Amino acid sequence: MSEATRASVPSSAVTATQNGAVQNGAVQNGAVQSDTNGAPITPRGVVHRGGTPNATLPALVERFGGAIVRHDVTWGETCVIVQRDAVHAIIRWLHDEPSQRYDYLVDVTAVEFREATRPLEVVWHLRALAHRRFLRLKVELPKRLPLSVPSIVDIYSGADWLERECYDMFGIRFDGHPDLRRILMWDSYQEGFPLRKDFPLRGRFSRAEQLKQALAANPEARYSMEELHIAEAFDALPEDMKRRLTVEREAHGDVERGA
Amino acid sequence: MGLNPLPTRASVTVDPASQDGWVTSRLDFLVNWARAGSLWPMPFGTACCAIEFMSTAASRFDLSRFGMERLSYSPRQADVLICAGRVPLKLAPVIRRIYQQMPQPKWVISMGACASTGGMFDNYAVVQGIDTIIPVDVYVPGCPPRPEALIHGILMLQQKVMRDRFKDRTLHVEIEPDPDSQLYIPPSRIDELSEPFGNSVNQTRSAP
């Protein structure tokens, strides 16, 4: 991206969002308005383009200025396009920084456009529940380069299956994913990545060949039992949840005593 | 194909004058009567057709009138596989195994447009008619079929069962798949059936 498209945050937006606080009765910082009880009000009259960016944006520009390619605000939602190499550090910061606390990863997905030269976009939807903020992060991947972005499973473990789905449908590799394999199509699927624009709607093989290959797959070999093993997941639970489960089981007499 | 006639009142002979009260009948009539009156369905519900199947099985439409209220969620105690809904290619080996686990004699009802033909899902992920992977006895059209339509299909299946004859097994032949392709329809026919647009390898959703 050229320097001209770099993020240029209006100075008024920066001054208005210095503390990032939610104020009653005023649309500020892209934050949700609250009524007198602190309950959110449905925003009205949101402009399509060019609204006030999220309070996170100035902080992001200040800290990762060089890695921010550009940003836009659509229907009040802030979208930040960042550089591929910085996305892991940015999401790590958004998750860990106390003033941001993006604690909920809504979705990881990708977009491919009809224009052959237009790059693919990988999209992360993040939400900060405490601050009532929504942020959309994007990375542009030119088609001539290998399609890969850093995995964020080490930050949000919920990204595991989302990244697998994105890999399955678009063929985008997530570097550092612990178990990157197909999730919707079966492991031995040969025909490519179905949501890519060059993928024929009916698939690449003939119907008979598709059936033959699908029938040759072993349905019980597709799922590892570790994925489905609930008893072993008990050890990974937080201590308070373990205690609660154990106490409830004891109250019901499920736990043998004295043995 | 000449169908065997449905059994009539004459299939059972009663002699009330006899003190023993005996009846005479054909063995295949009795066997078919018992089978047709207690077809235990194995519901394979994958989509909206399964919702219609649920209401068919519930009290308003009352599937127990036909001896089918005992839904068999294990294929090993089932007589009829009712495939209600679209079958993705990923489920093809699953429904095939369920069908193979059912004891003979067994029948299959393909419920709805998607199970019968793939319906609107003419894409890379959906089986274009389950008759390519398992043999189907009755196709019920509809999207989804009303419970009355499914019951009509069930009654047709009962008629098919009643027409079966020991000496003439051509009505219900439990065919084996082609050993080479493991399909019930020759691969060339499947490709032909996937017209009208053909399996257009070059068809994409993007602008040229």
Preceding amide of B196 cis, omega within 30:
yes
Structural domain of B106: 27-168+177-193
- Torsion angle, CA of A172/A173/A179/A182, rounded to 10 degrees? 30
The domain A3-184: what is its CATH number? 3.30.460.80
Provide the 3-class DSSP secondary structure of residue A27. coil
pLDDT at B115: 92
**What is the CATH number for B189?**
3.40.50.12280
Parse chain A into domains and list their residue ranges. 3-184, 229-259
- Locate all alpha helices (DSSP H) within B46-186, ordered by sequence: 48-57, 92-101, 112-117, 147-162
Best mutation target among B89, B134, B182, B204 (most A Cβ atoms within 10 Å) is B89
Residues A118, A121, A124: CA angle, nearest 5 degrees: 165
For residue A201, give the nearest of B93, B123, B181 by CB distance: B123
DSSP code, position A11: H
Contacts of A198 in chain B (CB under 8 A): 204, 206
Beta bridge partners of B42: B81
Pick the more confident residue, B173 or B135: B135
* Nearest CA among A134, A198, A235 for reference residue B205: A198
> What is the phi-psi region of residue A224: left when phi exceeds 0, alpha when psi lies from -120 to 50, beta otherwise?
beta
Q: How far is B208 from chain A (nearest CA, A)?
A: 9
> What is the phi-psi region of residue B198: left when phi exceeds 0, alpha when psi lies from -120 to 50, beta otherwise?
left
pTM above 0.80, yes or no: no
pLDDT at B21: 74
pLDDT at A44: 81
Write the pLDDT tens digit of every residue in B30-89. 999 999 999 999 999 999 999 999 999 999 999 999 989 889 999 999 999 999 999 999
In a domain, B145, yes or no: yes
pLDDT at B69: 86
CA B70 – CA B64 distance, rounded (Å): 8
Q: What's the start-to-end Cα distance of chain B, in Å?
A: 49
pLDDT at A54: 87
Percentage of chain B surpassing pLDDT 90?
48
Under 8 Å between Cβ of A57 and A80: yes
In a domain, B32, yes or no: yes
Beta bridge partners of B139: B110
What number is the ipTM of this complex? Answer: 0.79
Contacts of A184 in chain B (CB under 8 A): 90
Total tally of structural domains belonging to chain B: 1
Preceding amide of B105 cis, omega within 30:
yes
Which residues are CB-neighbours of B142 under 8 A, at least 6 positions away?
Answer: B112, B113, B149
Is B133 in contact with A207 (Cβ distance < 8 A)? no
Under 8 Å between Cβ of A100 and A59: yes
Of A27-31, A107-111, B100-104, B203-207, which range is least confident? B203-207
Tokens matching residue A152: 């964020």
In a domain, B203, yes or no: no
Is B194 in contact with A204 (Cβ distance < 8 A)? no
CA A206 – CA B108 distance, rounded (Å): 26
Under 8 Å between Cβ of A176 and A151: yes
How would you write the pLDDT of chain A (259 residues) with one tens digit per residue? 444 444 444 444 333 333 333 333 334 455 567 888 888 888 788 889 888 888 899 999 999 988 999 999 999 899 999 999 999 999 999 999 999 899 999 999 999 998 888 999 999 999 999 888 999 999 999 988 899 999 999 999 899 999 999 999 999 999 999 889 888 888 888 888 999 988 888 888 888 888 888 888 877 765 555 555 666 677 788 888 888 777 766 666 655 544 3
pLDDT at A194: 92
H, E, C per residue of A118-135: CCEEEEEEEEECCCCEEE
Which residues are CB-neighbours of A33 under 8 A, at least 6 positions away?
Answer: A24, A25, A26, A27, A40, A41, A43
pLDDT at A218: 79
In a domain, B131, yes or no: yes
Under 8 Å between Cβ of A18 and A29: no
Provide the 3-class DSSP secondary structure of residue B194. coil
Under 8 Å between Cβ of A189 and A182: yes
Write the pLDDT tens digit of every residue in B119-149. 888 888 999 889 888 999 999 999 999 999 9
Q: In A, residues 207-226, which contact B (CB 8 Å cutoff)?
A: 207-212, 214-219
pLDDT at A231: 66
In a domain, B122, yes or no: yes
Q: How far is A216 from chain B (nearest CA, A)?
A: 7
Strands A120-128, A104-111: pairing is antiparallel
CA A175 – CA A164 distance, rounded (Å): 11
CA A53 – CA A17 distance, rounded (Å): 9
In a domain, B199, yes or no: no
